[in-house]
Amino acid sequence: MDNPILHKLMAERPLVLASGSPRRKALLEMLGLRFTVHVSDVAEDAPAGLSPAETAVYLAEKKAHASAAGFSKATLIAADTIVVLDGEIIGKPADRSEAIAMLRRLSGRTHRVYTGFSILKTPEMQCVSDVDCTAVTFNEMTEAEIKAYVDTGSPMDKAGAYGIQDQSAVFINRIEGCFYNVVGFPLARFYQTCQPFFAE
């Protein structure tokens, strides 16, 4: 690893991804990072009154701190991605019918994807967090297209019932902002946040 910031991210102490998302795991591996995965069982709920950006950061920090108890000395990375349409957070679909309903709402419209992330060092409990936002515009989708995509099973574990990196890519007209943020982890924002945190 030639990059000094990413090298230090791994060199100081073990690196832990506090997320079970295969997309986040693949993105961090793409950077050349070596880490273990630890998933904490925390409720993904936040206090009322938070903005979407604040909600994403709150949940990321909640996951990081919940996982921290299992590591006496480590750097933990946690994240949370939310989809927002008309000011409403759209979570993961509970079943096929809910996935179809979500995609009907997104069809032909622009929504926003927020990914908050938190980097936590133990035992110091030194933490830095940030959030990125990307606007995603869908083309109009037919009922047959929506149902065929839902039948692939891909939407069921994803906020907003779609994954921009899978078959739903053919429905997306444009994005404004970071592509990787929509996948589940804003790599450029993460790197920018790491620079002052690990530059000392």
| Residues with a known catalytic role | 80
- Name which of 199, 182, 200, 195 is nearest 79 in CA terms: 182
Q: Which residues contact 13 (CB under 8 A, 6 or more apart)?
A: 73, 74, 75, 121
For residues 63 and 70, what is the distance between their CA atoms, to the nearest angstrom?
A: 12
CB atoms within 10 A of CB 4: 12
Q: Do 171 and 150 meet the contact criterion of CB atoms below 8 Å apart?
A: no
For residues 146 and 140, what is the distance between their CA atoms, to the nearest angstrom?
A: 10
Q: Which two three-digit tokens encode residue 133?
A: 């936002």
- Name which of 34, 106, 105 is nearest 75 in CA terms: 34
